[in-house]
Structure 1
């Protein structure tokens, strides 16, 4: 395993099926420091967690680039929630973390639920950020229609090429979710998202990974099996606005409340004035997320762990 220290932020490559998984790590290397495993969304990377790291400097945050994303984009399939959960278990074990609070955003919340079900000893509690419950899509749609309905331009972007980093930044600056919420974290996240490809720069996320994962969320069995069997507490933070800052979020209030009534382990909290992205990547959403994670850590109590590479 390799590791590089860069002003308190470091990266590590963890052996997983088919190669190495890139992880970003923030915070102290003290084995007694509290640990959060942070799991990003379907077309994102570990760079989405920078504001959480700034808000919780005493917490060691371990955030992988999931299989098919970021600097883990060459890791082969199969993908799907069970495959990602297996990777996350390998990451925690590589860092000698016995058990952790797990925070997941968007698809990362679904992966976190499956991780908690399949590897219950590794997860102390869950903070689910606008994800983790079954998607609200009409019945009878094809897999491609589900991708278009749920992700829209986020999926289309993966097939495009860009002549420069500035051209890609310009695209994101005009994105409805960020037009009024641009910050240095978002710029760093956008820059990291590019990789060299045939015909120019392209987003790092592998389209096949995104497609297989979205299909698994809609038709797979790992998530429904996990939802009904969890034994750890989970808090769902709901964004009232969607991926394009539209007034209808990924989940309706009625949908999440109905699941809260069904699941003894689930608590739901609305986060006002945020969309699907800014709930994590801008204020005030990131502050609410940090408070929820801090609360989960406090409720869980101290657990010692090691640091990979030591």
Structure 2
């Protein structure tokens, strides 16, 4: 795990926590990167390493998670988008390259539409393109369909950090793909005292955000993008299953013709390892550098 700085910036209701990995050159461009629905800033640790000091990477803990878990509502994709605009303003960044993984990709798209003056090109990682919600599902059933076992974890307790590590190491997505960086990322999520430690994620934030993925503003944002965007989609899914969130058929059904988005497949990775593994991380890092230097 390469060294990083902890920073905080003012947003509505308090301060947003973020992690910053400085570039070797103080004049290097800055990229802002957003995590998934139950993740945190350190999920971007492997990408920070693979950037190798070519750009400065700033990754916030989104409202209701990790260092920002104390921030009150309202939650939702639009609220996160406004927080990210406030972060870039506080850091004096203009037309910054914005990246997002999973839910963070949806936040990035909405942020670019709501605040076009603040953001440059987007790199979306296995997220950002939504599909209408099935009308027969209740909100909680919808949440289960969206993130599955990740929602259950939020109400669980763990005896200690080793128990939490063992829980995640048993996850099919991380089989053979564990690292010190992944360990740091999942440990940032844990809070409380033994023997009843628990996730920092506020359940009400995760529920609001998850249901909000199906809001019309979120679903339509990709068709209103004022900037170029690339979607790197993982071939495999959240549980390392063969069906990923996206595939050629689903992307064709999304009718992206006429948008400013280019989908690119990343093979041999799943929804998590597209970000936390070297194969996907290197693809992300190289594209971020190209965007930032353009």
Given candidates 254, 274, 297, the residue that maps to 2:292 is 297
Superposition CA RMSD, Å: 1.8
Cα distance change of structure 1 residues 281 and 151 upon mapping to structure 2, 3 Å threshold: same
Q: Distance in 1 between matches of 2:179 and 2:194?
A: 30
Q: Distance in 2 between matches of 1:90 and 1:38?
A: 14
Secondary structure at the residue paired with 1:228?
A: helix
- For residues 223-251 of structure 1, the C-alpha deviation after alignment (integer angstroms, 9 at most, x for no partner) is 13422211200000111111111111112
- Within a 5 Å distance, the mapping from 1:54-203 to structure 2 comes to 54-56=49-51, 57-135=53-131, 138-196=134-192, 200-203=196-199
Preserved CA contact (<8 Å) 1:227 1:263: no
- For residues 112-159 of structure 1, the C-alpha deviation after alignment (integer angstroms, 9 at most, x for no partner) is 000000100111100000000114753321111111111111110000
Preserved CA contact (<8 Å) 2:224 2:259: no
Given candidates 272, 279, 287, the residue that maps to 2:274 is 279
Q: Distance in 2 between matches of 1:261 and 1:106?
A: 18
TM-score (norm 1): 0.90
Which residue number corresponds to residue 25 of structure 1? Answer: 20
Q: Distance in 1 between matches of 2:131 and 2:167?
A: 27
CA shift at 1:29, angstroms?
7.9
Preserved CA contact (<8 Å) 1:237 1:269: yes
Q: Distance in 2 between matches of 1:90 and 1:30?
A: 25
Cα distance change of structure 1 residues 288 and 30 upon mapping to structure 2, 3 Å threshold: closer
Preserved CA contact (<8 Å) 1:234 1:267: yes
Secondary structure at the residue paired with 1:41?
A: coil
Q: Distance in 2 between matches of 1:251 and 1:118?
A: 25
Q: Distance in 1 between matches of 2:178 and 2:2?
A: 23
1:237 aligns with 2:228: no
Q: Distance in 2 between matches of 1:259 and 1:292?
A: 24
- Within a 5 Å distance, the mapping from 1:208-287 to structure 2 comes to 208-218=204-214, 220-259=215-254, 261-287=256-282
Preserved CA contact (<8 Å) 1:136 1:250: no
TM-score (norm 2): 0.95
Q: Distance in 2 between matches of 1:198 and 1:139?
A: 42
Secondary structure at the residue paired with 2:10?
A: strand
Secondary structure at the residue paired with 1:159?
A: coil
How many residues get paired? Answer: 293
- For residues 78-131 of structure 1, the C-alpha deviation after alignment (integer angstroms, 9 at most, x for no partner) is 111110011001100111111211010000000000000010011110000000
Q: Distance in 2 between matches of 1:264 and 1:135?
A: 16
Preserved CA contact (<8 Å) 1:243 1:275: yes
> Which structure 2 residue ranges, 5 or more long, are not aligned?
none
CA shift at 1:197, angstroms?
6.5
Which residue number corresponds to residue 10 of structure 1? Answer: 5
Q: Distance in 1 between matches of 2:244 and 2:219?
A: 21
Cα distance change of structure 1 residues 281 and 247 upon mapping to structure 2, 3 Å threshold: same
Secondary structure at the residue paired with 1:242?
A: coil
